[in-house]
Structure 1
């Protein structure tokens, strides 16, 4: 917004005009303040953001001349452009006439972006601004639904419903729901959070006695309401039955579990004692993904998130960091490491995006050498994964084979060295040579874009499945596995492979 305002400032003349902003109230003429009536009738030029407001009828009755900016909504491509147009024109008109009156619905400081832009210009000394308050749309809505806002109330612009966080633990008022298309967008955004059956209020012409309408409906019916227009707002009551929870609930639950009247086990945990659970939960998430079990994935992601909140609560108690430090750090990191999204760098493909990420990460951590990049890979990672990442970073600087054939030749070389150490019965070197062999296998996997961790896990699953087949078949034959010969088991193993292939063919 600063850049847009600066463009407006460049176009301004040196002479500074005065703008008096008047709030027209929510709609009913009786809501007009005496101050508003006096200012509107003082003879200055009057400009309206919109004529689509019931109090304009009062101006007509009193013979007060005015100009409306409704035309701006027709000629500009977006609401942001509309607000810029109105603001710039008001500044120009104030310079021309010296002192003008600008009337807006409701209260000038509630959901009025043009007023916010004018206030920014005033702070820069570009205009003189006076604000005459009016009754906002909030008061008549509260009166209409009969809810006390003491437990919290959030006002949300329906035009930016996807960009503003909805809080399920307090009541919300959503404005700018002026047609069915906007109502449909709001419905879809809210349904993801509250569910289709959550009851809401649709209030039209709040505070205007002869026109006010209030309907209480389930959320899924929102875009089926006929009487939706410029004076329509949505009142969304907070979730009382706790059928759904959000991150704030999770944080409060963890605080209670760690509190004096909480759980003894939770209370005695430390960063160190929880390490194994973080690893365990991460692998359970991976299992759910591998099994393509979306219900399990949602459940396991919750368990993993719990570990983040758990560690954050301990950090807070010890005075080192809290959950908001965690979210702030990751948001800053994402923005910083995506200059092709948030700054002027470009990334036309996945490789360039990844390169930007790694370059920004190295700069962020003050990593100056390529060796430091290799050392930055955590030693606590599973060995196959760490090998893969080390090789990948070495390849980024050209330390790599030109073709997979080179990696395969290296694999044969390492295998021969293992065989040689076995023949020489040299146990001292055998461990190192087997490590080299595994490292070479990882290198071949990397060339073929195959994750070695996934590959070995699939092999393990295949082995277990075939072994289960052998044991099941041996029981059918009345034999004990321990009593079967290796030849018999090998025969059954080959039979298990055929059985698996037949199952796959049926699929």
Structure 2
């Protein structure tokens, strides 16, 4: 069979499934798509995947599409002959790799994922913030969204403690909603656009993983951590920002208990935590939390400590936060 012209073939395939190939259609070759880890196109628009030549290629395409679309997403496998569509059949994404009809003239129509792209979310948020949008959304500022962001992250964490996947997805969506609002406010004020945040995040992830995206060799996790800190220091120097100590990376706004955990972890990796002295000073607590205790036992102990603090008129959160501040001041190199 003679391979058809890609553009004409794509147009013929689009006509086969009854769509206009020039109305927002995205076109990509199967080999290029299979070489990715996530679809490099807008999920909110339809796409055509050309040249699904064999079963291994189809398996690669299915794996990549599966990172964004549900298993039951209805695809249409189209077989072309010359410049005309020959046939089309609907298959769920999960069945894509089943051998049937693959070849240089086979392509795949991927319908848009309804309200499933970040562009959809940003469009809704821009609409809400528009002059004819919602008064409440329009009056929000970067300052006012801080509390909402903390609340939504807290609710997402609470959902993740359970096993309800739909609830987790819903709460993560709420976090994304606040992020979209922050991005929209920043765009309107000329500060930055959400694309800037995405770009900076992508560049940072690539830059901080040279053992994955570059040629660095990592011997072990200790080497990985050391290299990570070196790269962060290089970034700060390149941005002409003051050097940071190993304890400076712990966010000040963390809840005290989490902050204590992070501070001890950072201090231990930097050689600033005297574990021997800490163990000796904790001997009296061993009987309250013996070796082998689980999180349930630890939770009960912490609960009782909070109750005791309350009985003494003390605030455990404030007390621990103040102690962390003193310890950090005494142990910062």
Distance verdict in 2 for CA 1:207–1:199, change over 3 Å: farther
Rounded Cα–Cα distance in structure 1 between residues aligned with 2:91 and 2:158: 37
> Could you list the per-position Cα deviations for residues 329-366 of structure 1 after superposition, in whole angstroms to 9, with x for gaps in the alignment?
11111111122222222223333222222221122123
The Cα of 1:252 is off from its aligned counterpart by: 0.6
Residue aligning to 1:178? 53
Residue aligning to 2:201? 330
Distance verdict in 2 for CA 1:456–1:315, change over 3 Å: farther
Residue aligning to 2:111? 237
The Cα of 1:460 is off from its aligned counterpart by: 7.9
- Of 227, 236, 250, which aligns to 1:377? 250
> Could you list the per-position Cα deviations for residues 98-139 of structure 1 after superposition, in whole angstroms to 9, with x for gaps in the alignment?
xxxxxxx555xx6xxxxxxxxxxxxxxxxxxxxxxxx64223
List structure 1 runs of 4+ shifted beyond 6 angstroms: 454-457, 460-463
Residue aligning to 2:221? 350
State the structure with more CA Rg.
1
The Cα of 1:287 is off from its aligned counterpart by: 1.8
CA contact (8 A) 1:362 1:368 kept: no
Structure 2 gap segments, 5+ residues each: 305-333
CA contact (8 A) 2:16 2:88 kept: no
CA contact (8 A) 1:141 1:207 kept: no
The Cα of 1:309 is off from its aligned counterpart by: 1.2
- Of 159, 174, 178, which aligns to 1:288? 159
Rounded Cα–Cα distance in structure 2 between residues aligned with 1:154 and 1:409: 65
Residue aligning to 2:321? none
Residue aligning to 2:9? 137
TM-score by length of 1: 0.51
- Secondary structure at 1:201's aligned position in 2? strand
CA contact (8 A) 1:362 1:373 kept: no
Structure 1 gap segments, 5+ residues each: 1-52, 55-104, 111-134, 416-440, 464-507
The Cα of 1:150 is off from its aligned counterpart by: 3.3
Residue aligning to 1:458? 299
- Of 387, 391, 408, which aligns to 2:260? 387
2:191 equivalent to 1:316? no
Distance verdict in 2 for CA 1:302–1:208, change over 3 Å: closer
Distance verdict in 2 for CA 1:198–1:365, change over 3 Å: same
Rounded Cα–Cα distance in structure 2 between residues aligned with 1:289 and 1:231: 45
Residue aligning to 1:263? 134
Rounded Cα–Cα distance in structure 1 between residues aligned with 2:165 and 2:13: 41
Rounded Cα–Cα distance in structure 1 between residues aligned with 2:162 and 2:111: 38
2:45 equivalent to 1:204? no
CA contact (8 A) 1:156 1:174 kept: yes
Distance verdict in 2 for CA 1:145–1:295, change over 3 Å: closer
Rounded Cα–Cα distance in structure 1 between residues aligned with 2:302 and 2:118: 36
- Of 195, 202, 222, which aligns to 2:70? 195
Residue aligning to 2:315? none
- Secondary structure at 1:400's aligned position in 2? coil
- Count of aligned residue pairs for this structure pair: 293
In angstroms, what is the RMSD of aligned CA positions?
A: 3.4
Distance verdict in 2 for CA 1:184–1:378, change over 3 Å: closer
The Cα of 1:305 is off from its aligned counterpart by: 1.6
CA contact (8 A) 2:10 2:21 kept: no
1:351-500 paired onto structure 2 within 5 Å: 351-366=222-237, 372-401=245-274, 404-411=275-282, 458-459=299-300
Distance verdict in 2 for CA 1:153–1:456, change over 3 Å: farther
Distance verdict in 2 for CA 1:329–1:175, change over 3 Å: same
